[in-house]
């Protein structure tokens, strides 16, 4: 399967056992779901099972985005700890979020057992460990607040991970699975239930109305409702100022001693490391993630992999790093995702975004919430996670910071004199921004010495893209759009490719 970068994730060797459709002519659907990752596929299946006529479209292929690159931890503890939720949203709402996590894991378990999806699902304990005094205070808060909202967490004497720590806490009833096998299993059920999946079908515009006119790269689809399950909605929207794009890095290592941890693990560093074990084709792998940074803000993304590998070798007897890859996530400004009506659109256009590092749980919960709203007219999570909500005061400083980053890139990066360079000294596989006759362009030299140039201005709202050497992509530092070296759009919110520049006309 394909993904949105050149690194290969541990899940990418899987093949689908369903067939995508071509775009059916002049059929009216109840719902069009845009994006065939965990959110879109879960939502589409629940709606189809509830009797709605659904069409699921993806600009690329199923699992192309973050679902194909997640490490698929299934937790009842979120990146936003319950003590922060209690402080900002109240204890009842924090309890509701705890229920949401349990419901998401419950739905995944039911899907797997009802439909016999073979996706290496396993229930595991999760261990959170504090590495210094500051982290230990945070661990106390995490334990107290989790227990308050009904997620049992207990202190233990020993850490099953070979990492020295002050204290370790155990959260039971966590789980893990192979996200791509699960996704493909859901798609098979969806298609067998009469749903249509159309790949390589990019939605370019939705004309509002009681019946939406959805313009795609393959033709027009009419539907009574639309769900954007594209990780971040395309176009320019309020949510781009309430969600910040981040990259996270993963290595999968073979160990010399077969001492693979039997659990899920997390330290409390900023950003934190996350650990799990996965067997693929009869071999165990230790999967470690971390080294997160804002998309487009790391000069040399290779250093993220180097730090992660060094971290793995410090604590484990690593034989080889077999896989390494990165993927994108969106941090919501107030700590909770945005699931419901898409701001600035009619009340029949929906969105789910801002999952932080809890994509599998929130993607599944979004399916439950959106299908409830579309089938029953309401969901108990609707008010709390409303994308139009006013953010609580506690999130405001973060919001200003994210906004300030955007403004900085808009104003200065496009005209930075620092980046004026000749492109002829590029090594093969390297890229850089080049100023030439008043234009800033992104130039990449391929393995054969061929040069590929693009206009470095992101078509979303005109920030300047930055080169991601690991994934060989142009990444936008403002809202996370990503493009191949040829300028082809990989990740929303942009809806267009970077403009290609014919270098023969420039020289």
Instruction: Centre a 10 Å sphere on the Cβ of residue 396 and count the other Cβ atoms it contains.
Output: 12
Q: Are the beta carbons of 54 and 40 closer than 8 angstroms?
A: no
Q: What is the closest distance, in whole angstroms, from the C-beta atom of residue 458 to ligand FES in the complex? A: 3
Residue 487 binds to ligand FES (criterion: CB under 6 A): no
Q: What is the closest distance, in whole angstroms, from the C-beta atom of residue 492 to ligand FES in the complex? A: 8
Residue 287 binds to ligand FES (criterion: CB under 6 A): no
Residue 371 binds to ligand FES (criterion: CB under 6 A): no
Piece of 213-221, 223-231, 338-346, 478-486 that binds ligand FES (CB under 6 A) = 478-486
Q: Which has the closest alpha carbon to 490: 473, 478, 465?
A: 473
Residue 165 binds to ligand FES (criterion: CB under 6 A): no
Out of 479, 489, 490, 501, the residue judged to bind ligand FES by CB under 6 A: 479
- Gyration radius from the chain CA atoms: 22
Q: What is the closest distance, in whole angstroms, from the C-beta atom of residue 471 to ligand FES in the complex? A: 16
| Closer by beta carbon to ligand FES, 185 or else 387 | 387
Q: What is the closest distance, in whole angstroms, from the C-beta atom of residue 391 to ligand FES in the complex? A: 20
Q: How far is Cα of residue 275 from the mean position of the Cα atoms in its chain?
A: 18
Omega within 30 of 0 (cis) for the link into 38: no
Residues between 437 and 466 with contacts to ligand FES, criterion CB under 6 A = 458, 460-463
Q: Which has the closest alpha carbon to 360: 76, 29, 155, 168?
A: 76
Q: Are the beta carbons of 146 and 159 closer than 8 angstroms?
A: no
| Closer by beta carbon to ligand FES, 5 or else 289 | 5
How many angstroms separate the first and last alpha carbons of the chain?
38
List C-alpha distances in Å: 430 to 223, 417, 425, 442, 448: 44, 20, 10, 11, 12
Out of 142, 212, 286, 494, the residue judged to bind ligand FES by CB under 6 A: 494
Residue 476 binds to ligand FES (criterion: CB under 6 A): yes
Q: Are the beta carbons of 402 and 391 closer than 8 angstroms?
A: no
| Closer by beta carbon to ligand FES, 83 or else 460 | 460
Residue 231 binds to ligand FES (criterion: CB under 6 A): no
Q: What is the closest distance, in whole angstroms, from the C-beta atom of residue 461 to ligand FES in the complex? A: 4
Site size toward ligand FES (CB under 6 A) is 12
Q: Which residues have a Cβ under 8 Å from the Cβ of 411 and sit 6 or more positions away?
A: none
Residues that bind ligand FES (CB under 6 A): 458, 460-463, 476, 478-481, 493-494
């Amino acid at each position: 399967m394909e993904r949105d970068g050149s690194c290969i994730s541990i899940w990418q060797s899987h093949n689908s056992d369903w067939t995508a459709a071509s775009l059916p002519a002049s059929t009216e659907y109840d719902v069009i779901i845009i994006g065939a990752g965990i959110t879109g596929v879960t939502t589409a299946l629940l709606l189809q099972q509830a009797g709605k006529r659904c069409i699921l479209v993806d600009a690329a292929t199923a699992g192309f985005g973050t679902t194909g690159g997640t490490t698929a931890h299934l937790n009842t503890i979120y990146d936003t700890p319950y003590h922060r939720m209690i402080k900002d949203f109240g204890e009842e709402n924090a309890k509701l979020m705890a229920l949401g996590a349990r419901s998401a894991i419950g739905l995944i378990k039911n899907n797997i057992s009802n439909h016999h999806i073979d996706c290496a699902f396993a229930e595991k304990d999760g261990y959170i460990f504090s590495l210094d005094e500051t982290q230990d205070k945070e661990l106390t808060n995490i334990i107290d607040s989790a227990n308050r909202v009904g997620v049992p967490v207990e202190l233990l004497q020993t850490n099953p991970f070979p990492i020295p720590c002050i204290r370790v806490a155990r959260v039971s009833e966590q789980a893990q699975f192979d996200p791509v096998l699960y996704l493909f299993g859901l798609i098979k059920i969806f298609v067998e239930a009469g749903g249509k999946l159309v790949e390589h079908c990019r939605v370019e515009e939705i004309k509002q109305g009681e019946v939406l006119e959805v313009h795609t790269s393959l033709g027009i689809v009419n539907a009574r409702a639309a769900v954007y399950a594209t990780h971040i909605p395309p176009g320019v929207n309020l949510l781009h100022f309430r969600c910040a794009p981040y990259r996270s890095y993963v290595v999968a290592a073979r160990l010399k001693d077969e001492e693979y941890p039997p659990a899920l693990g997390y330290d409390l560093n900023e950003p934190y490391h996350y650990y799990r074990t996965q067997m693929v084709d009869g071999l165990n792998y230790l999967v470690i993630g971390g080294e997160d940074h804002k998309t487009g803000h790391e000069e040399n993304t290779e250093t993220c992999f180097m730090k992660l590998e060094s971290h793995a070798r410090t604590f484990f007897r690593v034989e080889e790093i077999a896989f390494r890859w990165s993927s994108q996530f969106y941090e919501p400004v107030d700590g909770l995702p945005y699931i419901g009506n898409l701001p600035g659109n009619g009340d029949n256009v929906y969105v789910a975004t801002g999952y932080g590092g809890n994509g599998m749980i929130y993607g599944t919960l979004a399916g439950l919430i959106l299908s409830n709203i579309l089938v029953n007219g309401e969901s108990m999570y609707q008010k709390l996670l409303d994308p139009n909500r006013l953010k609580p005061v506690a999130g405001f400083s973060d919001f200003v910071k994210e906004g300030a980053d955007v403004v900085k890139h808009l104003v200065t990066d496009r005209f930075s004199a620092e980046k004026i360079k000749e492109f002829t000294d590029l090594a093969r596989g390297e890229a850089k921004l080049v100023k030439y006759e008043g234009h800033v362009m992104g130039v990449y030299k391929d393995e054969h010495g061929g040069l590929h140039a693009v206009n470095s201005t992101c078509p979303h709202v005109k920030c300047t893209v930055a080169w991601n050497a690991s994934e060989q992509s142009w990444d936008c530092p403002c809202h996370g759009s990503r493009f191949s070296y040829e300028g082809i759009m990989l990740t929303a919110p942009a809806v267009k490719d970077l403009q290609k520049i014919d270098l023969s006309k420039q020289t």
